[in-house]
Structure 1
Amino acid sequence: MSGIPQNSVPINNNELIVTNGNNNCPHSVLSDEELKLLAKLEEQNRIIETDVKALNSLQSNSGHSRRSSDTSQVSEISQMNSESNDQDLSNGRDVWQIWGQLINDWNNQSKKNKTLQELVRKGIPHHLRGMVWQLLCNAPNCSVRDQYSDFLRQSSVCEKVIKRDIARTYPEHDFFKEKGSPGQEGLFNVMKAYSIHDSEVGYCQGSAFLVGVLLLNMPEEDAFAVFTCLMQDYRLREMYKPTMAELGLCIYQLECMVQELLPELYMHFQSQNYHTSMYASSWFLTLFTSCLPLHIAYRVLDLFLYDGIEMIFRISIAILLLCKEDLLRLDMEGLLRYFQKEMPSKCETDPDYLVNLCVQVKYDQKKMKKLAKDYQTVKAKEQEELVELRRLRTENRLLRQRIENLEHESAELADKLIQGQVCRAQEAEDNFVIKRELAAIRQQELEAKNELE
């Protein structure tokens, strides 16, 4: 995808309005026939993606590059899927119709709606994703949306850092790779606007990846509104604060989950001195947008916007389950390289399986709350110990200063003592000389008297 896709907004129970994210095109109403056509096109795209993913899987198993293409293999895979295409297209049309009904009647929907949950877990249709994301996080009602243009006219203390990091955000993606491109300008604008809106957080490295994914699915102003909602309502703001206290809590909770659900892998990580923060920090900070291929990152955001932060824990465990056998064979260096290089392609093999696996992961809300309390207790104890440590360090510093002063005084006294001893020795020597001279004079006096007599 080299540009911003189209986005939709609801108007009534039977129609959808589609708007373009890049320009101000007039609104067009989609009839039921056109909606069915869009569903068919979407399903055809999905089938093509399925073929390509299956081909990549075959190539990886045979030792070839994932980027190479083999038309004969594509034809074989397509033939295998051709029998189910008609049924898939019918299901695709049904899914689009259901999504249309849900969107048009969104104000009457509840997040506890099982139909909505199942649809989100199967993946939001690409051309509806930007709009559904906004609805899931209630971005249309975001109070700061209307201030976006005002923020752009102001200056931010974070501008230099934001500009430096923009070039590192999806550098190989057509929408972002060119300097001064719409993608880079959009990234800068949204990050700058948020740094002005929330000066306490300002700009946090890594958040640009999340904003980049939003910009690929909606215009700047909408991306700003969604990002603001994510920060305020989905625990991300606490994650991005300078202390990153929330990130520490999430890492602690995930480590406890790994210890309980994957004890063998946990022990292996411990034996290699491979800490949870070494692989999971970016997962929480960027919601996997910097770690996984974009089409999987979209699925992650689908789940996150519906279920919240618990889905990041579930997906983390699912990835570790998926890669467990590989990870158990690796040392520290291999683990570092695996999570960076091989894990994304492993997840790309079957995204639906990964999502189904994460949904099945055991997640106990009560236990997570207890872990949060335990963490706070541990941190409070650490804080007390830190205060005590600082007090002891202060006392130690004062004692060191006192010792240094005493040593200085001792050195001065030693110098004085040595000088006194030298002086006394010199006086004794002078006294000896004087006595000797006096004896000589007395001898001379005695001799003089004898001569006079």
Structure 2
Amino acid sequence: MIGAGGSDWKHYVRRNPHVVKRRIRKGIPDCLRGLVWQLISGSRDLLLMNPGVYETLVIYETSTSELEIIRDISRTFPSHIFFQQRHGTGQRSLYNVLKAYSVYDRDVGYVQGMGFIAGLLLLYMSEEDAFWLIVALLKGAVHAPMEGLYQSMKVVFQVGLALLRFCHDDLVKLPFEELLHSLRNFPDEATDPDTLLPLALSFKVSSHLEELEKDYRKRLEGPNASSSNKRLQPLRSTMNGAGSQPLSNLSVGKK
């Protein structure tokens, strides 16, 4: 069905799409998950079409999100043996993948929560394979892109606008005293995903919103932010040092 390295995959899927769907829904055997995930997402093709790109992103590029990534690494699967050791293979691999994606897609960059996706993938495949699978998922190599899920404040703002647009006619008729209650209790039809999400995604949000979000986060961190960054500098140097090693030394085999 799959062939060596997935060589027969496309041919089999074209001939037996319903069989493939049924078998995947029954559950992919653990030993095949890494390979099958790459095949059904299209990430295998992305990797083959972009030789050397991942290595360049890890070794030669810098990311504005490096400190955030380092700060979150120890919180990602902290009880899993692969990620427990500080500066260990697991944490270095996770850092490399997240840093590479934050450079590859600067519009999305790094967002909290990405580490858990990358960490799971690293348990089944190498760094480079995990990176291209994240690209395939978020940018949409075969299936619809998921990157909107990681655009944080922008998505929240779009959903808020969609709710207001959907309920506009009812809201403008209410006295001011009743507005707060209505804004906390939208009708069920307004929160139906099939209605709400297409409407939300139809709104174009200015990049100025991202600048406001960054300014807001800085204000939340307050004066402690600079001292926190100083404490993270040694760790940042260690991670960057790991990133400059040959990737063959850092890649993680299938678990």
Task: Work out whether the TM-score is over 0.5.
Answer: yes
Question: How far is the alpha carbon of 1:111 from its aligned partner?
Answer: 9.9
Residues 239 and 120 (structure 1), Cα distance of their counterparts in 2 relative to 1, 3 Å cut: same
1:106 maps onto 2:13 in alignment? no
Decide which of 10, 21, 31 is 1:117's aligned counterpart. Answer: 21
1:140 equivalent among 44, 53, 63? 44
Candidates 130, 135, 155, aligned match of 1:228? 135
TM score, norm. by length of structure 1: 0.34
Using the alignment, how far apart are the partners of 2:51 and 2:137 within structure 1?
A: 13
In structure 1, the partner of 2:83 is 176
Q: Distance in 2 between matches of 1:232 and 1:127?
A: 26
Any conservation in 1 of the 2:158–2:201 contact (CA below 8 Å)? no
Deviations 1:113-134 (A, max 9, x none): 1111111111101111000000
| Percentage of identical aligned residues | 33
3-state DSSP of counterpart to 1:172: coil
Q: Which amino acid aligns with 1:165?
A: D
Determine the C-alpha separation between the residues in 2 that align with 1:200 and 1:182. 28
Structure 1 residue 179 displacement after superposition: 0.4
Distance 1:118 1:219, change over 3 A: same
Q: 2 CA distance for matches of 1:151 and 1:206?
A: 21
CA contact (8 A) 1:139 1:229 kept: yes
1:48-447 matched pairs, under 5 angstroms: 103-108=6-11, 109-110=13-14, 113-142=17-46, 143-144=49-50, 146-153=52-59, 154-233=61-140, 234-245=144-155, 249=159, 368=194, 370-375=195-200
Give the C-alpha shift of residue 230 in structure 1: 0.7
Structure 2 gap ranges (5+): 164-180, 187-191, 207-255
CA deviations on 1:318-339 (whole Å, 9 max, x unpaired) are xxxxxxxxxxxxxxxxxxxxxx
Distance 1:274 1:206 in 2: 28
Number of aligned positions between the proteins: 176
Q: What is the CA deviation profile of residues 219-245 of structure 1, one whole-angstrom value per residue up to 9, with x for unaligned ones?
A: 000000101111101432222125442
Supply the AA of the counterpart residue of 1:147.
V
CA distance in 1, matches of 2:8, 2:125: 21
**1:292-338 CA-partner distances (Å, limit 9, x unpaired):** xxxxxxxxxxxxxxxxxxxxxxxxxxxxxxxxxxxxxxxxxxxxxxx
Q: Distance in 2 between matches of 1:183 and 1:111?
A: 39
Could you say which structure has the larger radius of gyration? 1
- State the partner residue of 1:68: none
Task: Say what the alpha-carbon RMSD is for the aligned residues.
Answer: 3.7
Question: Which one-letter code corresponds to 2:115 in the other structure?
Answer: A
- Any gaps of 5 or more consecutive residues in structure 1? 1-8, 18-102, 254-269, 276-363, 384-453
Q: CA deviation at 1:169?
A: 0.2
Structure 1 residues 112 and 218 mapped into 2: Cα distance closer, same or farther (>3 Å)? same
Structure number with higher relative contact order (C-alpha < 8 Å, ≥ 6 residues apart): 2
Cα deviation code 1:262-285 (max 9, x no counterpart):
xxxxxxxx9xx799xxxxxxxxxx
2:185 & 2:32 partners in 1: Cα distance?
40
TM-score, normalised to structure 2's length?
0.59
